[in-house]
Amino acid sequence: MVFARQRKQADTKNRKQKNWYLTIGIVLTACMLIFITVGFFWTPYKPSALSAADREAAPSLRHLFGCDQMGRDVFSRTLEGAGSTLTIALAVLAVGAVCGLVIGALCGYYGGRLDALIMRLCDAVAAFPSVLLALVVLAVTGPGKYNVIGALGVLFIPSFARLVRGEFLKYRDRDFVQSARLMGVGDLRIIFVHILPNIWPVLLSGLTIGFNNAVLAEASMSYLGIGVSPTEPSLGYMLKDAQGVFFTLPWCTAFPAAVAILLILGMGMVGEGIRERMGVAS
């Protein structure tokens, strides 16, 4: 969960590519979102419904993505799995970004001892092997969606906090901030109204990277079998489940893997597009 410190690019030759990235990224992400949104309301079969007759069925018109060892429809399960992966990733991102923003903003703006202390704490959390922290949190709280969100969310705070803090450090002594201060504007107002809009592009691109990291983290965790329930599948758990039958039931691996990759790819390209556009804009 390290944010690549991207240099802003002033190179005008990139202007064409930026549109290309953003367009493809948005189209891809939109397709995935539509796919997943449909899954929230409708799936061709109940994702958990077992069927002895359809066990190990290959992909066909009846079962677009085939069936797994227990006769469950892989298409329906992929829809549901992608849905829960997306929900978890977004929620993790929300926890990490909101807490990280507040902490980073306050630390960056005020500085001082509290800043040093909180940054140390962030370092400590970041130095903790992520899987371990998640394991420990989940061992305390027990498995379940919300607990996974909490565990991963905490892990995402330090990187956001550091990103935001760095930006605030850059802006807090700028002329427009100082003049606002001279005019008697309150600190909170300066933080949220005057400085925040300036760091928005950086934050946005951080969010796209964070989103991808969240999807990856969630998938890795459920692949390791941590904090998931097989009755509400996620993409990672489906992959783990299907790995043993990779050759005989390849569809059980291929489709969830493809969905996970496309989801990350789309968002990654959106982020890239945003970065390039912002490089030109500034």
Partner 1 sequence: MGKALLKRAGLLIGTLLLVSVLAFVAFSVIPGDPTGSVLGMEATDEQIAAFRARMGLDLPVWQRYWNWLTAFVTGDFGQSFKFDMPVSELVFTRAQATLVLAAAAFILIVVISLPLGLIAARRQGGIVDRVVTVLTQVTMSVPNFIMGIGLMYLFALVLKWFRPEYVPLKDGLGAHLRYMLLPALAVALPKSAMTVKLLRGSILGELGQDYIRTAYSKGSSRGSVLRRHVLRNAMIPVVTFLAMAIGDIMAGSIVIEQVFSIPGLGRILISSIGTRDYPVVQAIVVLLAGVVVLCNFLADLLYRVMDPRIDGR
Partner 2 sequence: MPKFVKRALLLLVVIAMLPVSLYGCTGDTEPTPSTVVSDSGSEPTAAQSGELPNGNSVTVGIAQDLSNLDPQMAATAGIREVLFNIFEGLVKASPDGSVIPAVASGYELSEDGTTYTFTLREGVTFHDGTPVTVEDVVYSLERCAGSENEGTPLVSAFSVVESIAAVDDSHVAITLAQPSLEFLNSLTAAIIPKDSGPTITETMTGTGPFKFVSYAPQDSLVMEKYDGYWGQGARLDKVTFRIITDTNALVVGLKGGTLDLVLHLPNTLEREVKDDFTVLQDTMKLVQALYINNAVAPFDNELVRQAMYYAIDVDEIIEFVCGGAGVATGTSMYPANQRYFMPELAENYPHDVEKAKELLAQAGYPDGFEMSITVPSNYTQHVQTAEVIVEQLKAVNITAALDLVEWESWYQDAYRNHQYQTTVCAIAAEDMTAQEMLVRYMSDHRKNFISFQDEEYDQVMTQAMASIDEEEQTRLYKRAEEILNEKAGSLWIQDVCDLAVMNPALEGFTFYCTYVLDMSTIGYK
204 binds partner 1 (CB under 8 A): no
In angstroms, give the least distance from the CB of 6 to partner 2. 22
In whole angstroms, give the CA distance from residue 37 to residue 54.
Answer: 26
For residue 255, the partner it binds in partner 2, partner 1, none, with Cβ less than 5 to 8 A by kind, is: partner 2
Q: How far is CA 269 from the centre of its chain?
A: 14
Spell out, one character per residue from 205 to 244, where the chain touches partner 1: x when CB under 8 A holds, - when not.
Answer: -------x---x--xx--xx--------------x---x-
165 binds, among partner 2, partner 1, none (CB under 5 to 8 A by kind): none
DSSP sequence for 226-272: -S--TTS--HHHHHHHHHTTTTTSHHHHHHHHHHHHHHHHHHHHHHH
d(CA 23, CA 26): 5
Show contacts with partner 1 in window 126-185 (CB under 8 A).
126-132, 135-137, 139-140
Residue 254 φ then ψ, to 5°: -60, -45
Residue at 158: amino acid letter: P
Size of the site for partner 1 (CB under 8 A): 49
Exposed / middle / buried, residue 208 (Cβ in 10 Å: 0-12, 13-18, 19+): buried
Q: Which does 193 bind (CB under 5 to 8 A by kind): partner 1, partner 2, none?
A: none
Q: Which spans of this chain sit near partner 2 (rule: CB under 8 A)?
A: 48-50, 52, 55-56, 58-59, 66, 69-71, 139, 142-143, 225, 228-231, 240, 243-248, 250-251, 253-255, 257-258, 261
Q: Which does 166 bind (CB under 5 to 8 A by kind): partner 2, partner 1, none?
A: none
Q: How many Cβ atoms sit within 10 Å of the Cβ of residue 77?
A: 29
**Cα separations (Å) of 263 from 42, 157, 178?**
20, 23, 43
Q: How far is the CB of 129 from partner 2 (least distance, A)?
A: 17
Q: Are 137 and 151 in contact (CB under 8 A)?
A: yes
Query: For partner 1, which is the closer residue by CB, 14 or 198?
Result: 14
**CB 253, min distance to partner 1, A:** 8
CB of residue 232 vs partner 2: minimum separation in angstroms? Answer: 9
Stretch 254-273 residues interacting with partner 1 (CB under 8 A): 257, 260-262, 264-265, 268-269, 272
> With b meaning 16 or more CB within 10 Å and e meaning fewer, what string describes 122-159?
beebbeeebeebbbebbeeeeeebebbbbbbbbbbbbb
Check the CA dihedral 35-223-150-3 and report its sign. negative
Residue 244 binds which entry of partner 2, partner 1, none, CB below 5-8 Å type-dependent: partner 2
- The residues binding partner 1 (CB under 8 A) are 1-2, 4-11, 13-14, 17, 120-121, 123-124, 126-132, 135-137, 139-140, 212, 216, 219-220, 223-224, 239, 243, 246-247, 253, 257, 260-262, 264-265, 268-269, 272
